[in-house]
């Protein structure tokens, strides 16, 4: 089967539109919390109080990301809990800057660490062990999230500050992160964590799959560096040809058959990731240093503060 070409004259049908509104997203988010609690109770911890504190910590962490995304005018912002692994917030935005991405990443762990330190101090001076235990979860879960490995916030922050333009370094960084999580999973016998390096490797493969498709698009003189909504009917279907031809998950869909597929929503999501504009690189060297110092402060500072409190 030959790589599709786009030199033929053709009247392309209208670009399909998928309704992004999802009135059930709140119920899906709530359902994900319930599934998280049930899964954690069954596999890890029978102490429901401990689980509820963990859910609260994760919720506050993700709420920080959520509010920061809302502040920077992201659309379709959603929060979901992932059973046995954690939680995440997703959203869409056409134009984004390094500064915004860095702030969004820090907006998750920083408030949780501050809350944890305050709770620990109150619990310590009032000898409330339960409060100190809850504070420890706040502090150490968020410190863990600042470690410099993907897909943690710390790893993503380092990538945003220094590696966004360097694809080879991004690849090495992703492989190192996958190896670290794989080693931690095996050493700690927490085999559920094997999912993390699996996702990282999948992401690396998808990234270079997208890079190859973009090369085809450039050779075909297709302008893809624009928001999805600005794609013409012709551009959409031409890009779609290359996507369904090159992405294994769409192999059952024939290129150059311009009819809406049952999987059109997934195809549109993939195309949106392709045409997504690169972030605006608006951080000076000084700003990068300030973000880096903030990361170091909240990664190591809480441990020093706790040592001073209990001394």
Q: Please write the tens of the pLDDT for every residue from 223-256.
A: 888 878 888 888 999 999 999 988 888 888 887 8
Answer whether residue 129 is part of any domain: no
Answer whether residue 251 is part of any domain: yes
What is the helix (H) or strand (E) element at residue 77, kind and residue range? strand 75-82
- Which tokens in the block code for residue 74? 């992201």
Among the three residues 147, 175, 204, which one is the final residue of a domain in this structure? Answer: 204
| Residues 6+ positions from 81 with CB-CB distance below 8 Å | 29, 32, 33, 35, 36, 55, 58, 87
* Mean pLDDT in residue range 137-157: 92
Q: Give the pLDDT of residue 299.
A: 94
Answer whether residue 198 is part of any domain: yes
Give me the number of domains the chain comprises. Answer: 2
- If asked whether residues 174 and 200 sit together in one domain, one would say yes
**pLDDT, tens digit, 9 for 90 and up, residues 176-185:** 888 887 888 7
Answer whether residue 4 is part of any domain: no
Answer whether residue 133 is part of any domain: no
Q: Give the pLDDT of residue 10.
A: 61
- If asked whether residues 248 and 273 sit together in one domain, one would say yes
Answer whether residue 84 is part of any domain: no
The boundaries of the domain holding residue 233 are 220-277
Between CA 246 and CA 241 the distance in angstroms is 9
- If asked whether residues 228 and 254 sit together in one domain, one would say yes
Task: Give the end-to-end CA distance of the chain in Å, rounded to a whole number.
Answer: 71
Its pTM stands at 0.81
Answer whether residue 98 is part of any domain: no
- Given a cut of 80, is residue 105 above it in pLDDT? yes
Answer whether residue 236 is part of any domain: yes
């Amino acid at each position: 089967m030959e790589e599709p070409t786009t030199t033929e004259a053709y009247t392309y049908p209208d670009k399909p539109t998928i309704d992004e509104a999802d009135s059930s997203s709140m119920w899906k988010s709530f359902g994900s919390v319930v599934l998280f609690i049930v899964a954690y109770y069954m596999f890890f911890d029978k102490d429901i109080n401990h689980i509820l504190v963990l859910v609260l910590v994760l919720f506050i962490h993700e709420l920080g990301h959520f509010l920061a995304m809302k502040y920077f005018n992201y659309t379709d912002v959603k929060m979901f809990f992932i059973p046995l692994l954690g939680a995440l917030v997703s959203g869409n935005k056409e134009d984004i800057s390094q500064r915004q991405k860095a702030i969004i990443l820090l907006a998750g762990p920083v408030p949780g660490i501050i809350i944890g330190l305050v709770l620990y101090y109150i619990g310590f001076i009032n000898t409330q062990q339960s409060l100190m235990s809850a504070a420890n979860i706040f502090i150490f879960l968020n410190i863990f999230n600042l470690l410099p490995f993907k897909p943690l916030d710390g790893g993503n922050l380092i990538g945003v500050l220094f590696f966004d333009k360097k694809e080879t370094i991004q690849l090495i960084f992703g492989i190192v992160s996958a190896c670290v999580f794989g080693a931690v999973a095996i050493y700690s016998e927490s085999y559920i964590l094997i999912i993390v390096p699996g996702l990282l490797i999948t992401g690396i493969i998808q990234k270079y799959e997208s890079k190859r498709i973009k090369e085809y698009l450039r050779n075909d003189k297709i302008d893809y560096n624009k928001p999805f909504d600005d794609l013409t009917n012709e551009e959409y279907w031409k890009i779609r040809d290359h996507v369904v031809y090159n992405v294994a998950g769409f192999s059952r869909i024939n290129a150059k058959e311009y009819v809406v597929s049952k999987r059109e929503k997934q195809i549109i999501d993939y195309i949106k990731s392709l045409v997504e504009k690169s972030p605006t690189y608006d951080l000076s060297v000084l700003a990068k240093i300030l973000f880096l110092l903030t990361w170091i402060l909240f990664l190591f500072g809480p441990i020093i503060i706790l040592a001073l409190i209990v001394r």
